[in-house]
A = this chain, B = another copy of it.
């Protein structure tokens, strides 16, 4: 590597490390609930809590990130305590006692249940958090919890009756289908399970392969040059209604690095090529040539997406571009991916980062200014995508500049 290129990477790494430090401190200082346990994530620009309702996804994601920080950088009491606080809060307040291990979607500050949803992503993040905590501490009970939730997700995904009694959102006699999120998130959970519980590696490898196969069998659509968020039961593209045409470029690009990790582990160069293809489709469909940044939703035929917020710039897809572009550069050596990394990094520095109060704005208008009053967290934004990106990128930049 040229000296000049190396210096640029080192400079990026210094910024990333500083941003990680700020981000972690923002959540430790402002988010952790020292009274009831768990984390508040509805924080405004300055870190003040603007809603005390708690997101169960975020309890799991926060529980995971602080355990993972220990796994990557070495144990710190404060990190371990933050993770444990979320784990305990979930155990005590976020599992629906009448629905066989199914978890709530939101609860009050003191843990009273607010909402049960049909989706089972609460269970996914609970599994990740418990598995990672087991990996760091060796607490067997956490591994058992993770495995239980991991099986609940798998079973519900494959048609097991839902103990909550909530049926599908769409009347199944009229329309059913497959969503990209199910194999994509499961692939990510599986990689955490595999790393922390190597004893069951064979099971995890089989599950991971099945996720990868399903993504390509059903949601990957070369004739439309995209990955479709929602397809028919046999993977059919349904182009007559909007739901069937939605492309979520950030989701696709997030999937890219899950696929690259799988390709690297299993030694599959063909899969690297296909992941490149997904990245190329998504970044070209989603990058806003007029204002910069990645659009939230696009339509595979260029028609209007129905979600009002489709042209907004959310923080997390940009985190995913940074991870996937750098990983693609690392694994293919192609400069175009490094270019996307730098281009996105510049956009994030200029628009998402907030040197004054720390953490990133979550929600920008198409023109790149935050919606006002701006926020640093919400039911869907907490200490997850940003610190996960910062850690991944820090590690990759470390490898690349070695």
Interface, chain A (partner B; CB < 8 A) = 42, 44, 50-53, 108-109, 112-116, 169-171, 173-175, 240-243, 299, 302-304, 306, 308-312, 314, 363, 365-367, 371-375, 378-379
Contact = CB atoms under 8 A, between A and B. Distances in A.
Contacts of A365: 311, 365-367
Contacts of A44: 303-304
Interface-central residue, A109, A114, A243, A379, by most chain B CB under 10 Å: A114
Nearest to A369: B366
A377 to B, nearest CB: 10
A58 to B, nearest CB: 13
Copy number in this complex? Answer: 2
Nearest to A116: B171
A374 B310 CA distance: 11
A115 B169 contact: yes
A367 B112 CA distance: 40
B363 A371 contact: no
A362 to B, nearest CB: 9
A173 B104 CA distance: 14
Contacts of A375: 304
B171 A50 contact: no
A170 B306 contact: no
Contacts of A373: 299, 302-304
Contacts of A115: 169-171
A135 B248 CA distance: 47
